[in-house]
Structure formats: structure tokens, C-alpha cells
Amino acid sequence: MFEGVHTALVTPFNRDGSVDYGAYRALIDDQVAAGVDGIVPCGTTGESPTLDFDEHEKVVATAIEAAAGRVKVIAGTGANSTAEAVELTRAAQQAGADGTLQVTPYYNKPSQAGLEAHFRTVADIGLPVMLYNVPGRTSREIAVETIVKLADHPHIVAVKEAGGSVDRVSAIRRQSDITVLSGDDTLTLPMMAVGASGVVSVASNLIPAEVTALVREAREGRWGEARARHLRLHELFETLLSLDSNPVPVKTALAIVGKVEDVFRLPMVGLDPALRPRLETVMRAAGVTW
């Protein structure tokens, strides 16, 4: 149910640091117009660690209201406390979310048994769950064996693979029929070649139509076209995830094209001004205009 392109939305802030809900709705309208399959509010790209509980719930509710059933909304409601993840997920369910993105609990480094119990507890709420494997941020990998076990839960339906490994996608798909989505724009095409069904994309904040076309070409078996598009966009994909910590590059890019303010919440700060020309050069090479 979560195949295709799902944009990991940024959270726009006003100059005073408050959430800019007007800009947020406009971003969602842009995503719908570009043909994405879904949006993911309050993930890593949405600076969710800097949102308080009330803001988190309002951002999710606003995304659901703005999407108005035109695209799926997969709410980022994970936490390193199972009780907090349950609370946020229940709120998203009541607001009308189509699913929940559940990040690996971070910092406390639970065992695989702990991870399994955590995800099953959240899934028991009844909202479709997309697991989120991102060991670079959580210091704990969801083992392939654990994913295979979790796939037997009726509400655990997908996994976002952001561990940088195409081999993991092969291993997961070999042992289960759970939907796999790339969590890294640079790996979308190679992961789809071995069985992934799309991407939870950072770059699609900026170029939603391009990412949508890439995934559509791959899903339709038009591999030559998909490869040509991937190679044309690869430097932008790479730059948005390497120039600084996500979401600093992509949010800066959106500010450059006039979609959001260049505002972050501590401990995130703006892009080093010395790096901005590099970002602009790569954006222009990928066909982004402003």
C-alpha cells in the first residue's frame, strides 16, 4: 500500500521560529500537483526532534487536512520511548493518517528482542506501520531476521531502508513479501532493481516531478530511461544528503527557490555560507531554476 514516491517533508518555520503552516500547505499542494504517492510529515527531514508534542500532532493533522485524501499521509510518530511512540501514533490515527513511519528507537540501543517488542506494540494500535531502518542516526540496525519476523504482523507492511545497503533489500525480499522503500535518493534505482518498490525521498521536496518520473520509469521496466535520469540527478541527490546534515541542504535549497524561509531550530543551524555556491551550482546542473 506504500509503493511509489513518498516525500519526507521539511517543516517550514517562520523567522520567529514558529511553524509556518501556510508554507507547509503550499508545499503539500506542490507535491500533489507533481504526482507523488504520499507525504511523510515529522520524519528526520521534518526536524521532528525539535517539535514539541503539541506541534508534532498539529503538523501531522495539518498535513492530513492539506492532503485531503489526494495522497497518502504516513506520519512520523516514532520515538525512543515506546509509550511516546504509542501516544503520537494514536493521535495520528485519530487525525486520519494512512500509516505511521516508525524509526528504530535511538540512543538507548535496544536488543533485537526489544526492537521486535517495540514495533509490535505500536503496530497493535492498528495503523499500518512502515519500519524505518537508519542505523547512522540511531546506532542500532533492525536486523533482517527481525524484519522478517515483524512482517508476519498484519499491520507491519513496509520498511524504509536507509542503511545504505542494496544487499539488505535483496535479503529482505528473498525472505518476505514486505514492501521495501529506499531511504536514500542515491540508492533508489539500484534498490528498485533488486525489489524495492519506491522511495521515501528527501530530494522530492525540491524536485517532486523528477523523482516521481524516475520511480515510474523503474516500476514500468524502462530501465534505460530511469538510469539516464538517475545519472543526471545523482549529484543533486548526493549533495542534498552530504553537504551538511539532513535537512539543512534541502531546506536551504527550498529557501533559494522561495518556498520556505531559511530557518532552523537549534541544534540545527543554517548552511555554511561558503557552501551555498556549491549547492546552487549543483541545483542548476540538475535543471532547478529560480
Q: How much is the average pLDDT of 89-100?
A: 98
Q: How much is the average pLDDT of 58-64?
A: 98
What integer pLDDT is reported at residue 1 of this predicted model? 83
- Rounded to whole angstroms, the Cα distance separating 121 from 7 reads 26
Phi, psi of 72 (to 5 degrees): -70, 150
DSSP string, the chain: ---EEEEE----B-TTSSB-HHHHHHHHHHHHHHT-SEEETTSTTTTGGGS-HHHHHHHHHHHHHHHTTSSEEEEE---SSHHHHHHHHHHHHHHT-SEEEEEPPPSS---HHHHHHHHHHHHTTSS-EEEEE-HHHHS----HHHHHHHTTSTTEEEEEE-SS-HHHHHHHHHH---EEEESSGGGHHHHHHTT--EEEESGGGT-HHHHHHHHHHHHTT-HHHHHHHHHHHHHHHHHHHHSSSTTHHHHHHHHHTTSS-S---TT--PPPGGGHHHHHHHHHHTT---
The residues assigned a catalytic role are: 132, 160
pTM across the whole model: 0.97
Pick left, alpha or beta for residue 258 (phi over 0 → left; psi -120 to 50 → alpha; otherwise beta): left
What integer pLDDT is reported at residue 34 of this predicted model? 98
What integer pLDDT is reported at residue 119 of this predicted model? 98
CA dihedral 232, 43, 166, 233 (to 10 degrees): 0
What integer pLDDT is reported at residue 177 of this predicted model? 96
Instruction: State the helix-helix crossing angle for 53-67 and 21-34, rounded to 10 degrees.
Output: 40
CA 251 vs CA 23, 48, 219, 290: distances in Å: 12, 14, 28, 15
What integer pLDDT is reported at residue 271 of this predicted model? 98
Q: How much is the average pLDDT of 73-95?
A: 98
- Rounded to whole angstroms, the Cα distance separating 199 from 48 reads 20
CA 243 vs CA 74, 169, 278, 288: distances in Å: 27, 26, 9, 17
Q: Which domains does the chain have, with CATH numbers?
A: 4-220 (3.20.20.70)
What integer pLDDT is reported at residue 228 of this predicted model? 98
CA 103 to chain centroid, in Å, comes to 10
Provide the grid cell at 257: 527557490
- Rounded to whole angstroms, the Cα distance separating 286 from 236 reads 7
- Rounded to whole angstroms, the Cα distance separating 71 from 83 reads 29
The predicted-structure confidence for 97-156, as pLDDT tens digits, reads as follows 999 999 999 999 999 999 999 999 999 999 999 999 999 999 999 999 999 999 999 999
Q: Is residue 80 pLDDT above 90, yes or no? A: yes
Place of cell 521515501: 200
Q: How much is the average pLDDT of 66-83?
A: 98
Cβ neighbours, 10 Å, residue 228: 13
What integer pLDDT is reported at residue 237 of this predicted model? 98
User: In whole numbers, what is the pLDDT of the chain averaged over residues?
Assistant: 98
The predicted-structure confidence for 172-214, as pLDDT tens digits, reads as follows 999 999 999 999 999 999 999 999 999 999 999 999 999 999 9
- Rounded to whole angstroms, the Cα distance separating 156 from 150 reads 7
